[in-house]
Amino acid sequence: MNIDEKTRSVIKDAARNLTGAKRRAFQAKVAMEMPDGNARKAEREFGWGRETVKKGMRESETGIVCSDNYQGRGNNKTEEKLPDLKRDIRDIAEPHSQVDPKFQNDLIHTRITAEVRNMRCI
């Protein structure tokens, strides 16, 4: 399929401005209008993920739209992954802690450093 650069740019820009199910529906419609209705050709022509285009095609065929779980993405907080971390750090640092010797503030100072073993430069 021969698409001029201006039309390709408009189609790619339109897809970029959509999100979720609307984007997949648009990409599927464009892919189905191409000869053979092939997701791989849409991937090659526009740079879209063919799995996303296939999902959009399945959604348009069945009428069932997949919901997106945007909140489920990303990395969990360290406190959630390691709930005992705060207590473990306190247990390590507390025996080495002391109050500011001049009592100028209410911060606690700790005199510990990480031990370096077998460090070689390559």
Domain of 47? 5-62
Does some domain include residue 91?
Answer: no
Amino acid at 15: A
Determine the distance from the C-alpha atom of residue 46 to the mean position of all C-alpha atoms in its chain, rounded to a whole number.
22
Contact status, residue 50 vs residue 88, Cβ threshold 8 Å: no
pLDDT of residue 112: 73
Contact status, residue 108 vs residue 98, Cβ threshold 8 Å: yes
Angle at 119 between CA 113 and CA 122, to 5 degrees: 145
Does some domain include residue 71?
Answer: no
Does some domain include residue 111?
Answer: no
Task: Please write the tens of the pLDDT for every residue from 48-68.
Answer: 999 999 999 999 999 999 888
pTM over 0.85: no
Total Cβ atoms within 10 A of residue 42:
28
Task: Please write the tens of the pLDDT for every residue from 67-113.
Answer: 888 777 888 888 889 999 989 988 888 887 888 777 788 887 777 77
Does some domain include residue 45?
Answer: yes
